[in-house]
C-alpha cells in the first residue's frame, strides 16, 4: 500500500470541522473502505495528492474536465475575467455569450436560464414544468439522480445509493407524494403511471444515460417512447443532461439519440470546473419564468462572470476541435482493453460505455436498470478500486458512479490503465 500520511492527517483534521470529513458524501470512500486522499494539484489527465503521488484521473472532477484539468485557455479566461471582478449581481456580457452558445449548440433550447448547480437546474425545471402545465405529478426513474432536491430524493442514485439510503432523512413524506418512481427501460410501467394519473402528470425527468448508478444505456426506442408518451398526454419531457450535455456529443445525449426534449438541464462542462447550472427549452415554456411569467426562480450568483468565462472557453474549444472523435477512440481503446483483461482473468465484468462515459459492473448479468446494477459485487469492486489506486489509477470510489475520459488522456494513458487493471483483476 502507498503511504498517505499527509492525507490521513488532513482527514483527521477535517473530521473535527466537516460532517464526515467531506463536503460531498461519495468522496468519503465509505463504499470502498479506507479514507480519501487529498489533492493539491491537477493538470491534464492527472492529479497529485498532498503526499506527492500521481494518478491518472478518470473522475475528471465528476465530469466537467472534458478538456483535462487546468486547460490553458480556461485558466487564461478565468484569470483575465477575475481582473475585472469576481461577481457583480448585475447583468454582464458573458451571460449573453453563454446563453447564445448553448442555444446555438442544442437545438431544443430556444431560451436558457443560468443558475449555480445541477441541483438548482433540475429543481427549477420541475417547478417550471408544473407551472406551465398546471399539474403536480412528476415521473422519475429508479437510480436516476437529479441533485439533492427534496421531491427527487426517491430511489436516487449517486451518493444516496452508495450509502444504501435512497430516501434521505429530513424529507417529509408530503414532499414526495407527487413523485412517481418507475424502473428505467420499462415502457409498461410508464404507461401504467399515466393511466393511473390521467391529466395529473406535469412531466418526466430522466437522465437519458443514467450516470449515477454506474452507467447503463436506454434500450433502442425507449427515449422515443418517452417523447411520444409525454406529447400524447400533454406532459413535458425533461432531460437531465448535467452529465451528458456537451459530453456525449456537442449537442449532448439528445443529439446523439435524435430526441427533442421540452426542457433540458445542464451543468458540469458549461462551468469547466466552476460551480454552474442551467436549464432551457422552448421559448413558450421558458417565458413562464419570472420576471416574464409567474414561475419564480432566482440566484444571486447566477451567471457569475468567472463561471461564464470558464464555460465559454470550454465550449468554444469543443466546437473548434475534434474532441468527440478523439474521446470516442479513447473510449473504444479503454473498453476493448478492459474487456480483454477481464476475460483473461476469468472475472465477470459487465462493461458499459457510451462515448467518454463508462462503468464496469462486477456481475455476469446484463445491466439495464437499477435492480440489475444492485446485483453487482461491491466488495470485488472495492478491491479493484484500491488495487488500481495503488498503481496510480483513480476511479470514482463507488461501484455506482460513472467514469469519464478527457481529451487530455492519451493512448499511452489508456494502455497503462489497462495493464494495471489486468494485473489487479488477476488478484480477484
Count Cβ atoms within 10 A of the Cβ of residue 293 and give its class: 0-12 exposed, 13-18 middle, 19 or more buried: middle
- Candidates 222, 268, 372, 394; catalytic one: 268
> Can you tell me whether residue 392 is helix, strand or coil?
coil
- Candidates 49, 240, 262, 413; catalytic one: 240
Identify whether 291 is preceded by a cis peptide bond (ω within 30 of 0). Answer: yes
Which residues neighbour 21 within 8 Å (Cβ) at sequence distance 6 or greater? 11, 14, 15, 28, 35, 36
What are φ and ψ of residue 278, in 5° steps?
-165, 155
Give, as one character, the DSSP assignment of residue 188. Answer: H
CB 394 within 8 A of CB 47: yes
- Candidates 55, 58, 145, 394; catalytic one: 145
Q: Three-class SS string for 246-308?
A: CCCCCCHHHHHHCCCCCEEEECHHHHCCCCCEEEEECHHHHCCECCCCCECCCCCCCCCHHHH
What Å distances lie between residue 412 and 19, 85, 340, 419, CA to CA?
A: 39, 41, 17, 11
Give, as one character, the DSSP assignment of residue 218. Answer: P
Active site residue 240: yes
Active site residue 268: yes
Catalytic residues: 145, 240, 268
Amino acid at each position: 500500500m502507498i503511504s498517505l500520511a499527509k492525507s490521513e492527517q488532513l482527514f483527521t483534521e477535517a473530521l473535527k470541522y466537516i460532517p464526515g470529513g467531506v463536503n460531498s458524501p461519495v468522496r468519503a470512500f465509505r463504499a470502498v473502505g479506507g479514507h480519501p486522499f487529498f489533492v493539491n494539484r491537477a493538470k491534464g489527465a492527472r492529479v497529485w495528492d498532498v503526499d506527492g503521488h500521481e494518478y491518472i484521473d478518470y473522475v475528471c472532477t465528476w465530469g466537467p474536465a472534458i478538456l483535462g484539468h487546468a486547460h490553458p485557455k480556461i485558466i487564461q479566461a478565468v484569470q483575465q475575467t477575475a481582473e475585472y471582478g469576481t461577481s457583480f449581481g448585475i447583468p454582464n456580457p458573458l451571460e449573453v455569450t453563454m446563453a447564445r452558445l448553448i442555444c446555438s449548440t442544442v437545438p431544443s433550447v430556444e431560451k436558457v436560464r443560468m443558475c449555480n448547480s445541477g441541483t438548482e437546474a433540475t429543481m427549477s425545471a420541475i417547478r417550471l414544468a408544473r407551472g406551465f402545465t398546471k399539474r403536480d405529478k412528476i415521473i422519475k426513474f429508479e437510480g436516476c439522480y437529479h441533485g439533492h432536491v427534496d421531491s427527487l430524493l426517491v430511489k436516487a442514485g449517486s451518493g444516496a445509493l452508495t450509502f444504501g439510503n435512497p430516501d434521505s432523512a429530513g424529507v417529509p413524506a408530503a414532499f414526495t407524494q407527487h413523485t412517481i418512481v418507475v424502473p428505467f427501460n420499462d415502457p409498461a410501467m410508464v404507461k401504467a403511471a399515466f393511466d393511473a394519473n390521467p391529466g395529473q402528470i406535469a412531466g418526466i425527468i430522466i437522465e437519458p444515460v443514467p450516470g449515477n448508478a454506474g452507467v447503463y444505456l436506454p434500450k433502442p426506442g425507449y427515449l422515443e417512447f418517452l417523447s411520444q408518451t409525454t406529447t400524447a398526454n400533454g406532459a413535458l419531457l425533461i432531460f437531465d443532461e448535467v452529465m451528458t450535455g456537451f459530453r456525449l456529443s456537442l449537442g449532448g445525449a439528445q443529439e446523439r439519440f435524435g430526441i427533442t426534449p421540452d426542457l433540458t438541464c445542464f451543468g458540469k462542462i458549461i462551468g469547466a470546473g466552476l460551480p454552474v447550472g442551467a436549464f432551457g427549452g422552448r421559448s413558450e415554456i421558458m417565458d413562464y419564468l419570472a420576471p416574464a411569467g409567474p414561475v419564480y426562480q432566482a440566484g444571486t450568483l447566477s451567471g457569475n462572470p468567472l463561471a461564464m468565462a470558464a464555460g465559454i472557453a470550454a465550449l468554444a474549444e469543443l466546437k473548434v476541435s475534434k474532441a468527440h472523435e478523439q474521446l470516442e477512440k479513447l473510449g473504444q481503446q479503454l473498453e476493448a482493453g478492459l474487456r480483454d483483461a477481464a476475460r483473461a482473468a476469468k472475472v465477470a465484468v459487465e462493461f458499459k460505455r457510451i462515448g467518454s462515459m463508462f462503468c464496469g459492473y462486477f456481475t455476469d448479468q446484463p445491466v439495464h436498470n437499477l435492480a440489475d446494477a444492485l446485483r453487482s459485487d461491491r466488495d470485488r469492486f472495492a478491491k479493484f478500486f484500491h488495487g488500481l489506486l495503488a498503481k496510480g489509477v483513480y476511479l470514482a470510489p463507488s461501484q455506482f458512479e460513472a467514469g469519464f475520459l478527457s481529451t487530455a488522456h492519451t493512448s499511452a494513458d489508456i494502455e497503462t490503465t489497462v495493464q494495471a487493471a489486468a494485473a489487479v483483476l488477476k488478484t480477484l
